[in-house]
């Protein structure tokens, strides 16, 4: 008998309903028609979830069997329906060539909630990433410039993907690829040597460095010789001049100290701060390899890799003056990361405007014979505007991230003062809600979409927002605190057979699939939107079903559901980088 992949229903670990249904179909199929040449795993893959639960919890299209069996799909469905009997099924229907399966509601609730609470914070996780390494390049702020809202998406998408990969057992390496190379740093040193002093810059931080840089550019318009002075200082950095390097490295320290305040607010950390300058001595081997493999072509004095055959402009590796470019450093960085971490996946969380750059980068790696180029992925995202206005330093419409976050905390505090004047730890909750509102807003839509930030939408406690999900988590916590040990009785899972309870249970069952899809697609918004769906379903359940009823079995079952929702809301929020207050 053909039995590849079959499991008996009672052997399915913790009742995987999809696989259990597939097993029942497989058994009935072989009993009715003999060896049909299909495995239970293939049947499970073909199972569908009907758009309306009135049509069942799972549906199997028998059309795919008609060719192999040489029978009408409706006849196949009728034959199979009559041969399926399982305790966990309340009904099996054959409808127009489909087999529709209705899971027994009480059994469904018992198995899903039991598994969720038994596994706790590991519910939804597996070991698919065990022994694998992912390198994530995100945030990548510029030295001597303030951290602005334009860096929010790369920072938080990267942070979420870092947490999601860790959740699935990956060894994750977070890299902040600092923008710390170029002639602007020579100009910064020249400005500092002319008009700056250590104490003023140390006290003023990045703001003071920006003032010096602005002054240098303004005066260079009147005195072109200053530009030569800036280039000379940058040449000293390139050549390893001790004084130039000391000042340059100090500028980085001051910038990172400023940035650390923002990272602390966001709860974001990195494993490496190796920026562009780190690869200064690692580019020549890459250039030599390109030459040795005949990939470098001279074009008007510059050195390029011709990519016309693949519909792309040439990749400029060296300017005519011998200067390197972003792609030169990125090639060196890619090879260094592969050599150092031997990654199985390398993600670049960078705005979609750099799409061509990464297509060129990956193609050059392929031409160099780096077969691991397939493990590299550009995780692109849209742009951020504020109040309908695009952000521009030149126009003065740039929004600095620490200002935005502090404003969010202040606004959250004002709302808390109004709605919950007696709340303890108001400052801590205001921080959690304010920061959470900004992060949640950023990660709510598909990452490729542009974002127009709005205070009114972000801090709304009733919309599809961070505060709404956080408040639902706190509400569930409040119910459980008031209940005390009232859920010690044996749950009557039949009390969770109503549509509102079942909607929540169904979402709880879907949690593992949502997380798996989010990590596979590099799409944190799937988790964000799931948290809203779960919060909305729970609130409907809460309004339609009184939790603290007299009947102990009903009360215990509803408290069990509440506990599972609280657990998953907290986990989902954590995976997108948002905290879950216990009280609001």
Give 456-525 as a DSSP string: HHHT-SSSSSHHHHHHHHHHHHHHHHHHTTGGGSPP-GGGG-SHHHHHHHHHHHHHHHHHHHHHHTT-TH
Which residue among 13, 91, 132, 145 is the active-site one? 145
Distance CA 67, CA 76 (A): 11
Cα dihedral: 148, 149, 151, 157 (round 10): 150
What strands lie across the sheet with 376-379, from one edge to the other? 171-175, 133-137, 345-349, 376-379
CA angle (362 as vertex; 359, 365 as ends), nearest 5: 145
Strand order in the sheet with 315-318: 296-299, 302-305, 315-318
151 noted as active-site residue: yes
Q: Are strands 345-349 and 133-137 parallel, antiparallel or unpaired?
A: parallel
Active-site residue 177, yes or no?
no
Among 148, 165, 236, 473, the active-site one is 148
* H helix or E strand, kind and range, residue 78: helix 73-82
Which tokens sit at 94?
């054959």
CA-based nearest residue to 195, from 182, 178, 204, 208: 208
- Give the Cα separation of 17 and 379 in Å (integer): 34
- In terms of Cβ atoms closer than 10 Å to its own Cβ (0-12, 13-18, 19+), residue 14 is exposed
Residues 6 or more apart whose Cβ sits within 8 Å of residue 239: none
Count, residues in the chain: 584
| Tokens found for residue 468 | 């709404």
- Which residue matches tokens 């954590």? 574
Is 378 annotated as catalytic? no
Q: Beta strand 451-453 with 384-386: parallel, antiparallel or unpaired?
A: parallel
Q: Name the active-site residue from 18, 111, 151, 338.
A: 151
State how far the Cα of 22 lies from the Cα of 469, in Å rounded to an integer. 35
Q: How buried is 572 (Cβ within 10 angstroms: 0-12 exposed, 13-18 middle, 19+ buried)?
A: buried
Nearest to 443 by CA among 463, 461, 460, 466: 466
* Dist. CA 493–CA 553, nearest whole Å: 8
190 contacts 233 by C-beta, under 8 angstroms: yes
Residue 99: which H helix or E strand, with range? Answer: strand 98-103
Max CA separation in the chain (angstroms)? 92
**Sign of the alpha-carbon dihedral angle for 437, 442, 445, 450:** positive
From residue 161, alpha-carbon distances to 213, 448, 525 in Å are: 35, 15, 11
Q: What is the DSSP string of 4-19?
A: TT---GGGSTT--HHH
Just list the catalytic residues: 145, 148, 151
């Amino acid at each position: 008998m053909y039995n590849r992949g079959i499991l008996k229903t009672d052997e399915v670990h913790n009742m995987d309903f999809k696989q259990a249904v597939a097993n029942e179909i497989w058994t009935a199929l072989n009993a009715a028609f003999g060896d049909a040449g299909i495995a239970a795993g293939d049947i499970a893959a073909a199972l569908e979830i009907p758009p309306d639960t009135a049509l069942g919890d799972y549906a199997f299209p028998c059309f795919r069997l008609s060719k192999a069996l040489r029978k009408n799909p409706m006849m196949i469905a009728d034959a199979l329906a009559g041969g399926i009997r399982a305790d966990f099924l309340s009904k099996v229907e054959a409808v127009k060539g489909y087999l529709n399966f209705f899971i027994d509601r009480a059994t469904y609730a018992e198995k899903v909630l039991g598994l969720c609470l038994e596994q706790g914070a590991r519910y939804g996780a597996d070991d698919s990433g065990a022994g694998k390494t992912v390198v994530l390049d995100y945030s990548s702020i510029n030295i001597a410039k303030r951290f602005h809202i334009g860096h929010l998406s790369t920072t938080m998408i990267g942070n979420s993907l870092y947490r999601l990969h860790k959740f699935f057992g990956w060894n994750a390496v977070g890299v902040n690829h600092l923008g710390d190379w170029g002639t602007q740093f020579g100009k910064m040193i020249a400005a500092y040597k002319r008009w700056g002093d250590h104490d003023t810059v140390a006290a003023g931080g990045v703001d003071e460095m920006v003032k010096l840089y602005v002054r240098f550019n303004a005066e260079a318009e009147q005195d072109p010789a200053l530009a030569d002075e800036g280039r000379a200082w940058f040449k000293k950095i390139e050549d390893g001049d001790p004084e130039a390097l000391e000042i340059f490295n100090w500028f980085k320290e001051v910038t990172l100290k400023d940035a650390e305040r923002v990272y602390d607010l966001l709860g974001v950390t990195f494993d490496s701060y190796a920026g562009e300058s780190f690869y200064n001595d690692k580019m020549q081997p890459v250039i030599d390899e390109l030459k040795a493999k005949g990939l470098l072509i001279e074009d008007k004095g510059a050195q390029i890799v011709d990519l016309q055959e693949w519909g792309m402009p040439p990749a400029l590796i060296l300017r005519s003056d011998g200067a390197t470019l972003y792609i030169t450093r990125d090639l060196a960085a890619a090879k260094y990361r592969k050599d150092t971490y031997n990654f199985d996946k390398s993600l670049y969380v960078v705005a979609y405007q750099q799409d061509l750059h990464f297509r060129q980068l990956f193609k050059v790696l392929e031409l160099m014979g780096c077969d691991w180029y397939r493990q590299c992925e550009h995780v692109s995202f849209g742009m951020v505007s504020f109040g309908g206005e695009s952000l521009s330093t030149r126009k003065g419409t740039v929004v600095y991230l620490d200002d935005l976050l502090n404003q969010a905390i202040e606004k959250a505090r004002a709302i808390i003062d109004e709605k919950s004047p007696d709340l303890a730890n108001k400052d801590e909750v205001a921080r959690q809600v304010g920061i959470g509102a900004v992060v949640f807003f950023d990660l709510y839509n598909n990452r490729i979409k542009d974002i127009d930030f709005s205070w009114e939408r972000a801090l709304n406690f009733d919309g599809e927002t961070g505060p709404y999900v956080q408040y639902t988590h706190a509400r569930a916590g409040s119910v459980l605190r008031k209940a005390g040990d009232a859920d010690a009785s044996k749950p009557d899972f039949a009390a969770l057979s109503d549509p509102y309870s079942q909607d929540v249970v169904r979402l709880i069952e879907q949690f593992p699939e949502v997380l798996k899809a989010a990590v596979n697609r590099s799409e944190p918004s799937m988790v964000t939107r799931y948290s809203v769906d779960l919060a909305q379903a729970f609130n409907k359940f809460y309004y339609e079903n009184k939790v603290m009823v007299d009947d102990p079995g009903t009360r215990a079952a509803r408290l069990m559901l509440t506990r599972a929702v609280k657990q998953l809301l907290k986990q989902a929020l954590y995976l997108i980088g948002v905290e879950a207050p216990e009280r609001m």
